Amino acid sequence: MSAPALALAGVSRSFGPVEVLHGVDIALRPGRVHALIGENGAGKSTTMKILAGYLAPSRGELRVAGTPARFASVREAEAAGIVLIHQEFNLAEQLTVEQNLFLGREIRRGWLLDKPAMRARARALLDRLSCAAGVDRVVSSLSNSDKQMLEIAKALAREARVLIMDEPTAVLTRAETDILLTQVRALRAAGTAVLFTSHKLDEVREIADDLTIMRDGAVVWQGEAAGMSEHDMAEAMVGREVSGLYPAKPPAPGGAPVLEVEGLDVPGHAEGVSFGLRAGEILGVAGLIGSGRTETFEGLCGLRPARGRIRLDGREVRVRSPAEAKALGLGYLTEDRKTRGLLLTKSLRENLTLTALERFARLTIDTAAEERALDTAIAEFDIRAGARDGPVGNLSGGNQQKLLLARTLLPEPRIVVIDEPTRGIDIGTRQQIYRFIRELAASGRSIVVISSEMQEVIGLADRVLVMCRGRVAGTLEGADITEAQIVRLAMGLGAPAPAAEEPA
Amino acid sequence: MSDTTTLPRPRRALPSMTVIGPVLALVLLVIIGTALNPNFLAWANVTNVLARSAFIGIIAVGMTFVITAGGLDLSVGSMAAFIAGLMILVMNAALPALGVGVPLVLLGMATALVAGLAAGFLNGILITRLGIEAFIVTLGSMGIYRSLVTWLADGGTLSLDFTLRSFYQPVYYGGILGVSWPIIVFAVTVVLGEIAMRRMVFGRHCAAIGSNDQVARYSSVNVGRVRLMTYVLLGLLVGVATIMYVPRLGSASASTGLLWELEAIAAVIIGGTVLKGGFGRVWGTVIGVLILSLIGNILNLTDLVSPYLNGAIQGAIIILAVILQREGKAGA
Ligand SMILES: Nc1ncnc2c1ncn2[C@@H]1O[C@H](COP(=O)(O)OP(=O)(O)OP(=O)(O)O)[C@@H](O)[C@H]1O
Ligand SMILES: [Mg+2]
């Protein structure tokens, strides 16, 4: 086997008094894909940041091609050919795609920028990733998956010898993931050392050569990936037997619909969407990215301009703002946790109670009651926070998601729309969240789960609404909820077909 | 890219420089002041400084909310001048009908409060409903009010009727137990402001909106209304400050309230409120106001440095305060 291009030896890392990594060893070899998996908060992102020079180890050693090294800055690491793609996007939102791609390493002709050269190169890089986004688009207008592709293109442009990707596929659809995996294979063939992490174990099975499993800041398993099944991985990660990911579905609830939506138009995104939702029901919403799933439900919840008839308990209502939605008992959990979900610089407590703040205030806010609510949320959702009063931005991605879920449910909405409930969440917690959603439904609430993960929709939903190009393509129920049926409807086709790209 | 490495550090036992920095600066100024002039801490001087700080102070409390919610208001100085002019005109006009007395003064006060509310509401509506940048809207209204007061005064000075002025004067010069009204009103404003900022839903919502208005919106916070309320509150407080200010000189002219907006904004920033929004501290603003007025006071009491350099020293302090804020945030 080739010598490691980059390695950690006995690395520990503390934040203040809390040690989050304990003596981690890991070696990345040229021409091999290494997967790092573990529960939320296990220390994957921290390990990756140390490898890429974003964080310094508190103890232990970083070795580049066998020799101990210390990067003073990310630039030095990049100069050594090590590139990290962060779990959260690291893009200048107001700049264009091309400007982002060449940020800090602009191509110049004399004193001036060589615009045509950069644009051409940007186009070529994006084409390699089958990404249709225009090079002059402002990044803030891109979809999440295009943003992820742009991050990957940035890394490709840097011609990395070691490419580290923190949950690159979390926001990608299966089809986009396949494109990414193809690129990873090409890089591997070209001799790049690749490290990536993902909570989707099937991807790990598919592409990893080497595997490291972490739990609570320490490596618990390391070796060749070939011998490990998904089930083995899950068990090693969580430290207990994991089976029955999805809770059993009770008989489909009957009764009159609680929510009836008729001819909902969200200008530019969706048209004539109609559906009903019963008490105790979990409605899955499937569709390709760009099919208007998110926008439809943002429109329903007053987050975007929308027209149409909405009836709650048979009574016609208007939802013009999220505040009105809340008053009507409608809750919405966004898929975009960093820019729309959480106040990253504020504490857990302030984030948790933001939506339901009136409940904690008469004239002034009762912080003691807020703290109690936080205790409950931490226990109920198994939120693992190093320091309870630190900023939310310090939580691991999955724990941020759990906090977001806790916040959405705190005002006790009767109808909850959850957009991508388990994005970036480990398998053990996913099981807990599914059970939780099922319990919410069992208590008489109505739940809408929008998800790009087919298995999630199939495993969780009582009924599935499939969207295609801004319209409802069909509704599936009971035994009809199958992958083939969903794909067929999502593609707007009559027969099952392979997933293809929807134009952005 | 490099600021990704400066992740916020965990809490330490010691309060950070952003908290103690302004307090230390204030203490230092008091020590310097006392060393240079033994009269510095005399009751008369202390109350004088506080009373003069009160106008800017009351306005700066309102400004703290506006800035915390991610906004800015450049119009407060000329708004104060305009309200003062309007108040004087109304009181003079109603003098024959009402005669000198409490009702007339109350009418004047009501005029100021209503005008302040309306002016703040106007700024707020333009910013929140039409979505125009706060900087642009208030830059515009700053010019409009300044020009209106000049026009009302016909380029000169609007003066309160002489008998009326002597009747109204106690509002500035009088007080209870030797503490004058402006100081009392300032103190009450600060206490209420501090409670609103730290303990009430309004303050929490302001900070949420300032740190990320999208997150606030997705959390069902009524972003537009809270933003609007910050400008209305500021307008109202400008009205209150004007009520205290008019009896002092009994007049208003084109130069009334000149540069108050900058002094108020500076006080807010020195006090540790983040200019980009998301975090605000009312008590910090008070310290900022005191620092700014103490510098002027010390320069006036001593002849070590020319009082003409007041602006330069204030400017240096503002820049220093922002540097300290950064250290407190980024230092590892
Ligand atoms: N800057 C920081 N300050 C304090 N604690 C931190 C900081 N960064 C990470 N941590 C803590 O370190 C632990 C490991 O976090 P890390 O982000 O590495 O987890 P992860 O394995 O990537 O999880 P996920 O799957 O949720 O992304 C967590 O408990 C987290 O709260
Ligand atoms: Mg992570």
| Domain spans in chain B, listed from the N-terminal domain onward | 36-327
* Same domain, yes or no: A224 and A325: no
pLDDT tens digits, A407-423: 999 999 999 999 999 88
Ligand 1 centroid – CA A41 distance (Å): 5
Q: Which residue has the tokens 């510098």?
A: B295
pLDDT value for B332: 31
Q: Is B275 on the interface with A (CB under 8 A)?
A: no
Query: In a 3-state reduction of DSSP, which class is residue A255?
Result: coil
Q: Report CB contact under 8 Å: B219, A358.
A: no
For chain B, the residue count is 332
Same domain, yes or no: A212 and A292: no
Residues of B in contact with A340 (CB under 8 A): 214-215, 217-218
Chain mean pLDDT for chain A: 89
Please state, in angstroms and rounded to a whole number, the distance separating the CA atoms of residues A482 and A459: 10
Report which bound ligand comes closest to the CA of A86: 2
Contact predicate A445/A416, CB 8 Å: yes
Residues of B with CB below 8 A from A388's CB?
none
Ligand nearest to the CA of A22: 1
pLDDT, position B1: 36
Q: What CATH number has the domain bearing residue A68?
A: 3.40.50.300
For residue B4, the chain A residues in CB contact (below 8 A) are 54, 74, 86, 90
In this structure, are A271 and A180 located in the same domain?
no
Q: Is A383 in the pocket of ligand 1 (CB under 6 A)?
A: no
For the Cβ of A177 lying below 6 angstroms from any atom of ligand 1, the answer is no
- Same domain, yes or no: A230 and A308: no
Ligand 2 centroid to residue B82 C-alpha, Å: 56
Question: Mean of the pLDDT values across residues A163-174?
Answer: 88
Which class for B314: exposed (0-12), middle (13-18), buried (19 or more C-beta within 10 A)?
buried
Confidence (pLDDT) at A494: 53
Residues A82 and A37 in one domain: yes
Whether A353 is covered by a domain: the verdict is no
Number of domains in chain A: 2
On whether both A75 and A190 belong to a single domain, the answer is yes
Distance CA B168, CA A4 (A): 84
Helix then strand then coil, % of chain B, to nearest 5: 75, 5, 20
Instruction: Return d(Cα A75, Cα A225) in angstroms, integer.
Output: 32
The end-to-end CA distance of chain A, in Å, is: 43
Q: Rounded to whole angstroms, how far apart are CA atoms B79 and B124?
A: 14
Same domain, A26 and A161: yes
Q: Confirm or reject: Cβ of A331 under 6 Å from ligand 1.
A: no
Query: Residue A46: inside a domain, yes or no?
Result: yes
pLDDT in tens, B168-196: 888 888 888 888 899 999 999 999 999 99
Structure tokens, A219: 């490596």
**pLDDT score, position B48:** 87
Cβ count within 10 A of residue B114: 15
Confidence label for A341 from pLDDT (cuts 50, 70 and 90)? very high
Structure token digits, residue A10: 């006995």
Q: What integer pLDDT is reported at residue B20 of this predicted model?
A: 79
In chain B the first and final C-alpha atoms are separated, in Å, by 17
The CATH number given to B36-327 is: 1.10.3470
Is a pLDDT exceeding 90 seen at residue B224?
A: yes
Nearest ligand 1 atom, CA A48: 18
What are the tens digits of pLDDT across the range A246-263? Answer: 988 888 777 889 999 999
Residue A156, token pair as written in the block: 């490709």
Q: How far apart are CA A203 and CA A200, in angstroms?
A: 6
**Whole-number Å distance between alpha carbons of B140 and B272:** 27
| Rg, C-alpha atoms of chain A | 23
By CA distance, what is A389's nearest residue in B? B11
Give this prediction's pTM: 0.84
Residue B183: per-residue pLDDT: 93
The residue whose two tokens read 């033994």 is B38
Atom of ligand 1 nearest to the CA of A400: 26
Nearest chain A residue to B332 by CA distance is: A16
Cβ contacts (< 8 Å) between B205 and chain A: which residues? 357
At residue A5, the pLDDT reads 93
A/B interface, count of CB pairs below 8 Å: 104
How far A350 CA lies from chain B's nearest CA (Å)? 8
Distances (CA, A) of B205 to B57, B158, B249, B264: 23, 41, 39, 22
Could you give phi then psi for residue B272, rounded to 5 degrees?
A: 105, 0
**Mean pLDDT value of segment B269-292:** 92
pLDDT of residue B145: 95
Which of A17-21, A490-494, B173-177 shows the lowest per-residue confidence on average (mean pLDDT)? A490-494
Q: Who has greater pLDDT, A368 or A494?
A: A368
Whether the per-residue pLDDT at B330 is higher than 50: the answer is: no
Domain containing A310 equals 264-329+444-495
User: Is any atom of ligand 1 closer than 6 Å to the C-beta of A119?
Assistant: no
Opening angle at CA A452, ends A449 and A453, nearest 5: 90
Integer CA distances (angstroms), B35 to A60, B21, B124, B205, in order: 54, 21, 46, 44
Chain A nearest-CA distance from B3, in A, is 10
Integer angstrom CA distances of residue B45 from B51, B184, B245:
10, 16, 19
Q: Which residue has the higher pLDDT, A27 or B17?
A: A27
Q: Is A225 near chain B, with CB under 8 Å? A: no
Put simply, the answer to whether B218 touches A326 (Cβ < 8 Å) is no
Q: Which among B215, B232, B195 has a CA at the least distance from the CA of B277? A: B215
Q: How confident is the model at residue B16 (pLDDT cuts 50, 70, 90)?
A: low
- Whether residue B97 lies within 8 A of chain A, CB to CB, comes out as no
Same domain for A227 and A282: no
> A222: Cβ below 6 Å to ligand 1?
no
The verdict on residue A293 lying in a domain is yes
Q: Which residues contact B20 (CB under 8 A, 6 or more apart)?
A: none
Is residue A177, in this structure, part of any structural domain at all? yes
Whether residue A87 sits in one domain with residue A173: yes
Residue B110 above 90 pLDDT? yes
**Could you tell me if B14 lies within 8 Å of chain A, comparing CB atoms?**
no
Q: Which residue has the higher pLDDT, A331 or A74?
A: A331
Nearest-CA residue of chain A relative to B221? Answer: A323
User: In the 8-state DSSP scheme, what is residue A493?
Assistant: -
- For residues A49 and A108, membership in a common domain is answered with yes
Q: Which ligand is nearest to the CA of A399?
A: 1
Distance CA A492, CA A444 (A): 33
Chain B: residue whose CA lies nearest to A100 = B1
Asked whether residue A419 is domain-assigned, the answer is no
Q: Establish if A304 touches chain B: CB-CB under 8 angstroms.
A: no
Q: Which residues of A444-483 are buried (b: 16+ CB within 10 A; e: fewer)?
A: ebbbbbbbbbbebbbbbbbbbbbbbbbbbbbebeeeebee
Alpha-carbon distances, residue A299 vs A261, A320, A365, A367, A410 (angstroms) = 11, 9, 31, 33, 22
Q: Whose CA is nearest to atom 31 of ligand 1?
A: A395
* Any domain includes A125: yes
Asked which of A237, A254, A274 is the last residue of a domain, the reply is A237
- Residues of chain A with pLDDT > 90, as a percent, come to 54
**Count of CB atoms within 10 A of residue A375's CB?**
11
Rounded CA-CA distance B236/B317 in Å is 29
In a domain, A465, yes or no: yes
For residue A416, tell me if it sits in a domain. Answer: no
- How far does residue A235's CA lie from ligand 1's centre (Å)? 21
A337 touches chain B (CB under 8 A): no
Among A28-32, A101-105, A124-128, top mean pLDDT goes to A28-32
Please compute the mean of the pLDDT values over residues B207-222 and round it to a whole number.
93
CA distance B206 to B208: 5
CA A156/CA A186 separation, integer angstroms: 11
Nearest by CB to A365, from B204, B217, B279: name it.
B204
Helices A367-381 and A427-442: angle between axes, nearest 10 degrees: 110
Domain boundary among A202, A237, A272: A237
Same domain, A203 and A289: no
Tokens of A122: 């940007």
pLDDT tens figures, A451-462:
988 889 999 999
Q: Are A200 and A324 in a shared domain? A: no
> CA B215 to CA B70: how far, in whole Å?
13
* pLDDT value, residue A479: 87
Nearest CB neighbour to B195, from listed A357, A364, A407: A364
Instruction: Quote the CA–CA distance of B286 and B296 in Å, as a whole number.
Output: 16
Q: Is the ipTM of this complex over 0.85?
A: no
- Position A46 pLDDT exceeds 60: yes
Q: Note the pLDDT of residue B325.
A: 67
